[in-house]
Amino acid sequence: MDLATVVELYRKYANDLAAVRDAQRQLLTTFTGKVKAQLDDIEAEITYLRVRDARPRTVVEIGALHGWSATWILRALKDNGAGHLHSYDLIDSSERHVPDDLARNRTFHHGDVREKWRDLDPDYVFIDAAHSARFAHWYVKNLFPALKSGTPVSVHDVYHFRWPIPFSEGAVLMRHLAERGIASFTAAKPRRDGAYERLMDLRRDLGLAEPIRDSTDNPMVYFTLP
């Protein structure tokens, strides 16, 4: 996963992505009051594009909250014509906010993923749950070794600043990746490495730049397990 691959995916799926962005913008109008969407636009779009590209049979999402990231993933599975999403969360709000036509391809697991986890042999793993070092230690020690080689993984809330916050989930994750020589990609604006600006330019060229949400950090990190 690198910037060139992301650019290629944007170009390849631009028309489908435009339709998905319209649908998500419409869905967001139903997220009112305490119902919040958390994933920023570019990181949500890259998630959609990566799921399109990987064509997973089984996706695991850890941390669904009200279902915003789940709906981006489910729209990719729908457009692929195949695949099922398993979401884990302590709260079941997403059960009420994921539209019925998308929920058909989803199973919700209510509770702490550390207790509820069962081996689903996922082909794609999305993590946006507790942002503590302790939680990151759990998944790098228990979850990652159980995943097959080549599994695409993404983890949210790593780059809200140029570097991960010391002793945070992001710090534990990035050290784990560095020690194993695993390359990662982020479009995070605070990273200041040019990726965010390049993708903003590309999205403008493709007519995909109108914001859906107003936050622009995009702190998610994407990598592939060796």
Ligand X SMILES: C[S@@+](CC[C@H](N)C(=O)[O-])C[C@H]1O[C@@H](n2cnc3c(N)ncnc32)[C@H](O)[C@@H]1O
Exactly one of 79, 95, 112, 193 binds ligand X (CB under 6 A); which one?
112
Window 81-100: residues binding ligand X (CB under 6 A): 88-91
List beta partners, residue 89: 110
DSSP bridge partners of 84: 58
Binding flag, residue 200, ligand X (CB under 6 A): no
Which residues pair with residue 155 across a beta bridge?
Answer: 127, 221
Q: Using CB under 6 A, pick the residue from 40, 123, 128, 217 that binds ligand X.
A: 128
Q: Which stretch binds ligand X (CB under 6 A): 98-106, 128-136, 163-171, 207-215?
A: 128-136
In angstroms, the CA 138 to CA 144 distance is: 9
CA atoms of 56 and 218, how far apart (whole Å): 23
Binding mask of the shown chain, residues 31 to 70, with x at each position contacting ligand X by CB under 6 A:
------xxx----------------------xxxx--xx-
Closest CA to 186 of 220, 163, 209, 158: 220
Size of the site for ligand X (CB under 6 A): 19
Does 134 bind ligand X (CB under 6 A)? Our answer is no
C-alpha 59/C-alpha 98 separation (Å) is 16
Tell me which residues touch ligand X (CB under 6 A). 37-39, 62-65, 68-69, 88-91, 112-114, 128-130
